[in-house]
Amino acid sequence: DTISATVVAGHPEVFRWVKMFPAAFEPAVQKALEGTGHQISFSNQFGGSIAGVGEELETVEDGLAEIGIIQSLFDPAKMPLQNVTYYTPFVSPNPRTVNELMNELVLTDPRLQAAFTQHNIVPLGGPLAIDDYLLLTTFPVKSLDDLKGRKIATAGAAVSWLDGTGAVGVSGQIPLYYNDIKTGVYDGVILFATAALPAKLHEVAPYITRVGFGAQYAGEIGANAEWFKSQPPEVQKALREGAKAAGDWYLRSLEEGTDAALAKMAAEGAHITIASEDMRKAWAKGMKNIAQEWANKADTSGLPGTEILKLYMDRMRNAGVKPLRDWDKE
Amino acid sequence: MTPFDIGLICIAVLVVLVLAGLYVPIALIATSFCGVWAIKGSPILAGKMLGLAVNDSIASYYFGIIPLFVLMGFLVAESDLGQDAYDVANAVLGRLTGGLAMGTVGANAIFAAITGISIASAAVFTRVAVPEMVRHGYTRRFAVGVVAGSSVLGMLIPPSLLLILYAVLTEQSVGDLFLAGIVPGLLLATIFCLLIMAMIILRPSFTGKHDHSATKKETALSIARKAFPILLLIVCVLGGIYGGVFTPVEAGAIGCVGAFILGLAKRKLTLRRLRVVLLETGIITATICFLIIAAQMYSRMLAFSQVPQEFGALIAGSDMGFLPVLLLYLLAVILLGMILDSSSIMLIMVPIMLPILAQLNVDLIWFGILTVVAVEMGLLTPPFGISVFVIKATLNDPSVGLGEIFAGAFPFALSMLIAVGLLIAFPGIATGILTLSP
Amino acid sequence: MTGSLKAVTRALDVVIDGMNLVGSLLIGGLVLLVSTDVALRNIANSPLIGVPEIVALSIVGIVFLQLPYAMRENRLTRSDAIPDMLVRRNPSLHRWMEVIFNLVALVVVALILGFTWPLAEKAFANNLFIGATGTFTAPLWPVRIAVIVSCVVMLLQLLRHVSRQMGGRQ
Ligand code: NA
Ligand code: NA
């Protein structure tokens, strides 16, 4: 029989975490279904055609779409614990390390699964990884002092990374960055390489400093729970295998894309430097402990914030990562 | 019945309901609710989509600027800054055939450098230009047509929210797209001016005749006095944007403050007037945003029905070569423009076309400008033409029907086809500027 | 009309005018908020946080606070060609069409109300917000309540429209 499934993503297909559905997820699911007598007819609804960015969770929850990219980054109120990486900067610049761990935790730890279950969603895997965030500025940055009084735009939780630097954090909109830097509204942005290149931000903010804010976890492929549970076991298995294939494809493509983006920006005249260890340490130490604040906030609303913070940091350290700051031990 | 059939029926039903006189947003919501119900087989699902669309689809920073720019237009009008601007324009251009109407186009081109949305242009110039053009002897139909037509410049000349959306959809640089929009924007303004001149000469019964008795006697001093405040406001806002003091999005608020101060200085604004202005701004914001919510819901229903996708797949799979594919695409965009809002058309059509464009090695910057011009025709075409709706809401004059405004806008929509043709024949109009800049 | 009914419709008008006033003040507030942000950022190097989030939320509030007023003043967008023709040629058919149209609107508004209600409950129960923890957050429930109140008032306003048309008054 043919099962029909609508796949939803708020971003258009040019984004890697959307492209992974037709490029890896769907073919892998079909392949896994071969010989089972089932097949799935996917209807892709991307780029806001049925749901905007950050509306995917509700759309899958309600069953308007069966499968979607659940963007915890854009739903911090519904997926607070999943945002742990954004509150623990300077841990690891490697998206594979961060996301293999986060994916494993989301798929196995009941405390992280609860947010999905509560919203009638089964997390399948295929983490939405974000490559190491960079500092792109109109001026060279040699030390923290260079940032004093400069206006740096970012979005969401990353605004708090500027705490203690003397720079002024301005919340901006990614599509507007180029123009606003060009006219001089901001002196720079904090963003990742694979988004900075297509937006050509290196043309207006050519000084790129690899501060090592870290790679991030931003979401996961999820399926409507009622629908998923009503599927025969072999279909469920195929969907999970599809998500695993999508995750592999995504991470590989992201790693290649990040290297290519940095190389291309450098070739087009960007000055890419790696921040000195002193500067990185000064930056990390100068911030207030945003991780503790975040964990305490989660604790007061009855969520295991402190536990998840400790779990994440412990598991990262166990994996051999050396965080610049042990956010959980202060 | 397949979802595709249901989609087609929903389009037909919408047209009938709107023509019959049902409130446009209600017609859009009702048909999309029934459409999703029929497609998904569940009224609950249809309702959930309705709930999400109503509560989330306009909750964005970009829509937040609508009231700011509308308010700015009202304050400019209330402070008589608009009237002064027209007295000045008339003293300078009045002798030219259609000088005042062309002045409106020119003013819109300048205002387009401030705002990123056409709704703002339409609201501002309805208040500022329509009464003045009528006072000077043009017919109302022609006056609203000029305003509707030139409002499209707002999204072609940078900054432009539509170009930003296209940049996100295609991963092109916003900066390149903005640069590429300048010359086509000026070209379109020129086409509109030629159209105005031709209409006044060939169809004076449609346009009315410039009545010079309404022209006030102006001296050099009185002109300077009237020109100074409005120039001051333009310089402040444009200077602020291009000098990096504030963003184009923030310019709406700064423009409000500027117009407010000038209004106080000219002793035109009273507390009571301010109250009226805020109230009108609120009503227009509410009616227009309600339309946008409803249109987005309708577009989501159409996405479920697969009508646009299958149409796109038909074009994509046709194997016809570049030009026929391009023309079919433009036709689809223009047809969708009759029933959907600009951003919904972009969201649906551009991703369908991207793989084909990559195959054919099409310049995506050029394609973006072409798309924006075609999409913007939809602002002027019935039954769903948001610029026309804004003008209707802003005029608030029961004697001017929607049909009359659509009729006035029609020549301008048609003449946009000339711009489309020129862009296809001479892609350099859009992309030439990129090869010039370092 | 009986005295008590008159009192009810007068009360309805007061509510509609009041919501309109709040919506208008919100627009003024947005102007102040954005320009204060610009001023502080440029003069004092200390921008306000959360402006994009507040703007995004307020727009929904502004729209729904003003909608009942727009409805009462017959300002919702519609094509008037056929109604205008009917009002001259066949007034009774025109009246019946108006009744039907307003009933359709009534159903649509009721649907919006019905399907916003669970969203409001969730916003309340789960303390939903927009923004990012640690920088700026604003609760969602006030906006959801504005939508619900707006729908209730619109329903009453539509009932008034319908009853007037059935009674033959414009
Ligand atoms: Na513009
Ligand atoms: Na249209």
Contact yes or no for C133 and A157 at CB 8 A: yes
User: What was the pLDDT predicted at B315?
Assistant: 80
pLDDT in tens, A263-287: 999 999 999 999 999 999 999 999 9
- DSSP three-state, residue A53: coil
Please classify residue C126 by burial: count the beta carbons closer than 10 Å to its beta carbon, then call 0-12 exposed, 13-18 middle and 19+ buried: middle
Return the H-helix or E-strand segment holding A272.
Answer: strand A271-274
Contact yes or no for A182 and B168 at CB 8 A: no
Q: How many Å is the maximal CA-CA distance in chain B?
A: 72
- DSSP three-state, residue C134: coil
Chains that touch A (3 or more CB pairs under 8 A): B, C
Q: Which residues of A touch B48 (CB under 8 A)?
A: 62-64
Ligand 2 centroid to Cα of residue B311, in Å, is 19
Closest Cβ–Cβ partner in A6, A48, A175 for B167: A175
Task: Give the gap in angstroms from C-alpha A304 to the nearest C-alpha of chain C.
Answer: 15
% pLDDT > 70, chain B: 99
Task: Note which residues in 350-379 of chain B have CB less than 8 A from chain A.
Answer: 350-351, 354
Chains that touch C (3 or more CB pairs under 8 A): A, B
Across the range B249-270, mean pLDDT stands at 90
pLDDT score of B95 more than 80 = no
The CA-based dihedral angle spanning residues B23, B27, B28, B32, taken in that order and rounded to the nearest 10 degrees: 160
Return the H-helix or E-strand segment holding A68.
Answer: strand A67-70
CB B368 within 8 A of CB B177: yes
pLDDT in tens, C53-77: 999 999 999 999 999 999 999 999 9
B156 band by pLDDT with thresholds 50, 70 and 90: very high
Per-residue pLDDT of chain C (170 residues; tens, 9 = 90+): 577 888 989 999 999 999 999 999 999 999 999 999 999 999 998 899 889 899 999 999 999 999 999 999 999 999 888 888 898 999 999 999 999 999 999 999 999 999 999 999 999 998 899 888 888 889 999 999 999 999 999 999 999 999 988 886 54
Task: Note which residues in 104-143 of chain C have CB less than 8 A from chain B.
Answer: 104-105, 107-108, 111-112, 114-116, 118-119, 130, 143
Across the range A293-312, mean pLDDT stands at 96
Mutation target among A171, A289, A303 for the C interface, most CBs of C within 10 A = A171
A66 band by pLDDT with thresholds 50, 70 and 90: very high
Q: Which residues of A touch B247 (CB under 8 A)?
A: 176, 179-180, 183, 185
Of the bound ligands, which one is closest to the alpha carbon of residue B336?
2
The residues spanned by each domain of chain B are: 3-436
pLDDT in tens, A80-128: 999 999 999 999 999 999 999 999 999 999 999 999 999 999 999 999 9
Residues by chain with Cβ below 5 Å of ion ligand 1? B 112, 154, 157, 160
CB C149 within 8 A of CB C19: yes
The structure tokens 């614990």 sit at A81
Please classify residue B398 by burial: count the beta carbons closer than 10 Å to its beta carbon, then call 0-12 exposed, 13-18 middle and 19+ buried: exposed
Domains in chain C, number? 1
Q: Which residues pair with A45 in a beta bridge?
A: A8
User: What was the pLDDT predicted at C168?
Assistant: 62
Of the bound ligands, which one is closest to the alpha carbon of residue B69?
1
Domain extent for C122? 3-166
pLDDT score of B212 more than 90 = no
**Half-sphere exposure in the Cβ direction for B124 (13 Å, CA):** 35
- DSSP three-state, residue A289: coil
Q: Using CA atoms, how far apart are residues A132 and A93, in angstroms rounded to an integer?
A: 5
pLDDT in tens, B49-81: 999 999 988 888 888 878 998 898 888 888 888
Chains that touch B (3 or more CB pairs under 8 A): A, C
pLDDT in tens, A127-174: 999 999 999 999 999 999 999 999 999 988 888 899 999 999 988 888
Is the pLDDT higher at B215 or at B407? B407
User: What was the pLDDT predicted at A209?
Assistant: 97
